[in-house]
């Protein structure tokens, strides 16, 4: 029998009801309003109550209808026990809506009502008085006391703002280094300057202190776009940019100045969002990425007050000068800005650049007493090319070195050494121009935190790395430029700590030793390595593919060494132009 016919047969035996006026639903069905009084408190809900009550009685209840029915019940009905079925409720509504007035034997609703005993309250814990922290005492220059000393210059001897002096105290500085004293004495007066100093002499802090002081003393323009920096620092490598920016953040800790760093290899959009959030006061950047921002109209250099070129000689070597020229053309004229140029050497090319970009510069030339720190012990092992890696492995493992930097001349050589170290169970990473910038930053952080044991790097990537705690620097190949040797070994023996430099001089690079000795002003003793450093490396289980790859790498390394010897012989035949 169809569902509709069965339903009609069930309803046929029921007594007729008194139905109210018909209501047509949105689905076209007719519903009759039952003449029934709504519960107390719902007098204004007569049509809704009767319609839902009738619909729930003759149709299957859905969850929505059950919720509506429960909402429209009286409070007494909601507290009562479960009631009879819906049909019985319609037949005897009076039992649902009325209750005896004198229900003496009704069960009390709660035990507390049946027993009139007072309930003991828990004693409230005494409220602890909150002790407000004592207000922090404002910092003053009297909190930073440095006694005068003979042949030493204090930062107090210069007109530096208190906020800068407080940052100097936080950094642990007391006296100026020679280049800091010489540079600040000229730049704080507004003069241009060119400085010659090796790495580790404090030149970064010298030009940062001068720049921060000028920006604090000169109010910023009232109308300025987010992408209009007031000071620009250009450096050749990404690592050096990040290091300068980190130093600038520390020195502007108590100043209302914003520092930003833009380098290639990092997410462009993330760097752009920095400009959208706040003004840029001090911008540190590599030439290529800075030009990208300038060409897209995101950065404008017409408000530059201070321009700083760091390691100008390295930018010359890397071919960045054409890009630097494009950048400088977008800044104010050289008489309307202060220009500072720093270089490790004063070659003819560097002096020519200084004449083009500065006006009557003060020349600051700091010659260290010794190019290499006295805290560094230098060794040179005369070893054949085929034994170099064996000596390197045994040095790291037998001396139990925890944080060591290994330098090589070429990127492919860096990659091969790092891969062999990892294959032989040593936690090592590489740092070269082939490594993406985000990975380079992550690698440096891991090395700084002690998560990496060996960092293999090229000269360009390793320059500007300032990480304390590096116990050893190993020159897997001697640099082609003697000055790079000084930069390499300067990664150890920092902050008064002792360090060791070990160079592996083979038949393809031993001829570099005399040039290094000439620069150092002292002799380097070349000795064969000790026997225990020539022990065979424990053989790991290599697959046929891994052995073939290892043999190919060794053959490639031999070919590269031969090419290096050929280039070196040609270079010796030419007159030396850079000194």
pLDDT digits (tens, 9 = 90+) for 199-232: 667 889 999 999 999 999 998 888 888 899 999 9
CA distance readout (Å), 531 to 91, 94, 426, 509: 110, 110, 21, 22
- Does the pTM exceed 0.85? no
Phi then psi for residue 174, to 5 deg, are -125, -50
Q: Does 1.20.140.10 match the CATH number of domain 382-573?
A: no
> How many beta carbons lie within 10 A of that of residue 467, not counting itself?
16
Residue-level pLDDT at 126:
63
Q: Helix (H, G, I), strand (E, B), or coil: what is residue 541?
A: coil
Residue-level pLDDT at 461:
64
Residue-level pLDDT at 442:
87
Phi then psi for residue 341, to 5 deg, are -130, 130
**Angle, helix 388-398 to helix 411-423, in steps of 10 degrees:** 50
Residue-level pLDDT at 326:
95
Name which of 231, 246, 208 is nearest 279 in CA terms: 231
Residue-level pLDDT at 138:
85
Residue-level pLDDT at 344:
80
Listed in order, the ranges of the chain carrying CATH 3.40.50.300 are 151-365, 382-573
Residue-level pLDDT at 118:
55
Residue-level pLDDT at 103:
44
Residue-level pLDDT at 244:
94
CB within 8 A of 522, min separation 6: which ones? 370
> How many beta carbons lie within 10 A of that of residue 557, not counting itself?
19
Residues of the chain scoring pLDDT < 50: 1-36, 41-43, 45, 47-52, 55-57, 76-115, 541, 572, 575-579
Query: For domain 151-365, which CATH number applies: 3.40.50.880, 3.40.50.2300, 3.60.150.10, 3.40.50.300?
Result: 3.40.50.300
Measured between its terminal Cα atoms, the distance across the chain in Å is 111
């Amino acid at each position: 029998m169809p569902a509709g016919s069965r339903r009609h047969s069930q309803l046929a035996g029921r007594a007729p009801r008194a139905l109210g006026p018909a209501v047509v639903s949105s689905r076209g069905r007719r519903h009759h309003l039952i003449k029934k009084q709504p519960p107390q408190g719902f007098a204004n809900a007569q049509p809704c109550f009767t319609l839902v009550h009738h619909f729930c009685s003759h149709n299957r209840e859905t969850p929505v209808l059950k919720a509506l029915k429960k909402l429209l019940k009286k409070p007494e009905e909601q507290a009562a026990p479960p009631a009879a079925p819906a049909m019985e409720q319609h037949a005897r509504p009076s039992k649902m809506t009325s209750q005896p007035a004198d229900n003496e034997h009704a069960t009390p609703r709660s035990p507390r009502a049946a027993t009139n005993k007072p309930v003991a309250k828990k004693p409230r814990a005494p409220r602890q008085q909150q002790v407000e922290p004592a207000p922090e005492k404002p910092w003053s220059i009297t909190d930073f006391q440095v006694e005068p000393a003979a042949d030493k210059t204090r930062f107090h001897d210069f007109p530096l703002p208190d906020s800068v002096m407080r940052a100097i105290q936080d950094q642990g500085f007391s006296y100026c280094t020679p280049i800091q004293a010489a540079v600040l004495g000229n730049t704080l007066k507004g003069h241009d300057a060119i400085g010659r100093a090796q790495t580790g002499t404090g030149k970064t802090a010298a030009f940062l202190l001068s720049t921060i002081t000028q920006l604090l003393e000169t109010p910023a323009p009232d109308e300025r776009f987010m992408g209009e920096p007031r000071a620009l620092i250009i450096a050749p490598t990404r690592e050096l940019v990040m290091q300068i920016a980190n130093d600038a953040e520390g020195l502007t800790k108590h100043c209302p100045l914003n520092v930003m760093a833009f380098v290639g290899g990092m997410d462009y959009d993330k760097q752009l969002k920095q400009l959208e959030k706040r003004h840029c006061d001090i911008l540190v950047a590599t030439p290529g990425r800075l030009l990208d921002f300038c060409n897209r109209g995101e950065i404008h250099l017409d408000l530059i007050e201070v321009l700083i070129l760091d390691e100008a000689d390295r930018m010359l070597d890397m071919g960045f000068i054409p890009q630097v020229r494009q950048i400088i053309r977008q800044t104010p004229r050289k008489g309307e800005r202060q220009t500072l140029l720093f270089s490790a050497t004063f070659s003819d090319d560097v002096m020519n650049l200084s004449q083009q970009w500065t006006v009557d510069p003060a020349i600051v030339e700091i010659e260290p007493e010794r190019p290499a720190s006295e805290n560094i012990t230098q060794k040179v092992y005369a070893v054949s090319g085929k034994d170099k890696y064996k000596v390197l492995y045994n040095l790291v493992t037998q001396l139990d070195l925890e944080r060591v930097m290994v330098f090589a001349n070429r990127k492919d050589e860096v990659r091969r050494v790092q891969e062999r170290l990892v294959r032989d169970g040593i936690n090592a990473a590489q740092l070269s121009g082939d490594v993406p910038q985000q990975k380079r930053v992550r690698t440096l952080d891991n090395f700084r935190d002690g998560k990496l044991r060996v960092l293999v790097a090229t000269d360009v990537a390793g320059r500007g790395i300032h990480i304390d705690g590096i116990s050893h620097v190993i020159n897997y190949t001697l640099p082609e430029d003697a000055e790079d040797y000084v930069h390499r070994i300067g990664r150890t023996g920092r902050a008064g700590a002792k360090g060791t430099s070990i160079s592996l001089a083979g038949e393809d690079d031993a001829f570099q030793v005399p040039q290094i000795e000439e620069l150092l002003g002292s002799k380097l003793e070349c000795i064969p390595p000790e026997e225990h450093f020539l022990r065979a490396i424990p053989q790991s289980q290599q697959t046929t593919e891994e052995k073939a790859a290892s043999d190919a790498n060794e053959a490639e390394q031999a070919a590269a060494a031969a090419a290096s010897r050929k280039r070196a012989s040609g270079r010796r035949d030419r007159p030396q132009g850079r000194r």
